[in-house]
Amino acid sequence: MQKLPAFHSPQPSPGSMSPSLPGSAHAAASGSGWMRYASPAVFYPLAGRLIPLLALAAALFAAAGLVVGLAVAPTDSQQGEVYRILFIHVAAAWMSMFLYLVMAGYAALGLIYNTRLSFMMMRALAPTGALFTFLTLWTGALWGKPTWGAWWVWDARLTSELILLFLYLGFMALQAATDDIRRADRGGAILLLAGVVNVPIIYFSVRWWSTLHQGASINLTAAPSMARIMVTAMLLMVAAFWLYSAAVALARVRGIIAEREPGVLHANAKEAR
């Protein structure tokens, strides 16, 4: 038998992004367990299938939460109807902190394991986290005017939430400041990990300092301080915001994958045919 000559594919330079070849999706799919989804080639079609399901679920939960919160929940004996901002405000505040922690988790994974998808997810979540942080501050101002008599006070929780918005905006500005993708990813990851300390400050600020802001409405170690129907409306809105965040982040990360690794699109198009 005549031996065939061995062909070796050229190695990409360290400063360049290696394109995904059409066979990469099949190779990544042969991996074991959940780690196979760390490959953008495998994750891309999965995200496409999940987006419409998550978006539909988010719309249903949001509709249910608004109906329960605005029409079913009773009027508060002290604040009247204005308290209903709570159902948007608290859910948005929770998501603003949660998404930052998720981004920081992806940042740590990206730095430790050098997984490309981790950096992509980190970038995809940032605009949604900034949106919820802004929504938290805006609804807080609408709620604060009739209850505190002022649109804004330099309260510990409000100030730390404002710092969180600056962290989101700073991260996105850093990503846009350079064309070197690897440098932007690593710089953004370091910024996220450095800013994690602000999240517990936001959450515990009402315990650590004397502030105007009320304490937690729901506590894992104690019974809720509000009616069960109000808690139900709040949790429905939290679920809606979580599902919305997942759907938007997956749609955004598909765009990032298509931009950074166009070979993934060609591979998936070939497999679809």
Report yes or no on 120 lying in a domain: yes
Report yes or no on 26 lying in a domain: no
Tens-level pLDDT at each residue, the chain (273 residues): 444 444 343 444 334 344 443 344 444 444 456 677 688 889 999 999 999 999 999 999 999 999 999 999 888 777 878 889 999 999 999 999 999 999 999 999 999 999 999 999 999 999 999 999 999 999 999 988 888 788 888 888 889 999 999 999 999 999 999 889 999 999 999 999 999 999 999 988 777 666 655 655 555 445 556 788 989 999 999 999 999 999 999 999 999 999 998 877 656 655 655
Number of domains in the chain: 1
Task: Identify the domain containing residue 195 by its residue range.
Answer: 41-214+224-272
Report yes or no on 33 lying in a domain: no
Report yes or no on 19 lying in a domain: no
Go through 168-187 and write b for each residue having 16 or more CB atoms within 10 A of its CB, e for each that does not. Answer: beebbebbeeeeebeebbbb
Report yes or no on 13 lying in a domain: no
Report yes or no on 160 lying in a domain: yes
Report yes or no on 260 lying in a domain: yes
Report yes or no on 24 lying in a domain: no
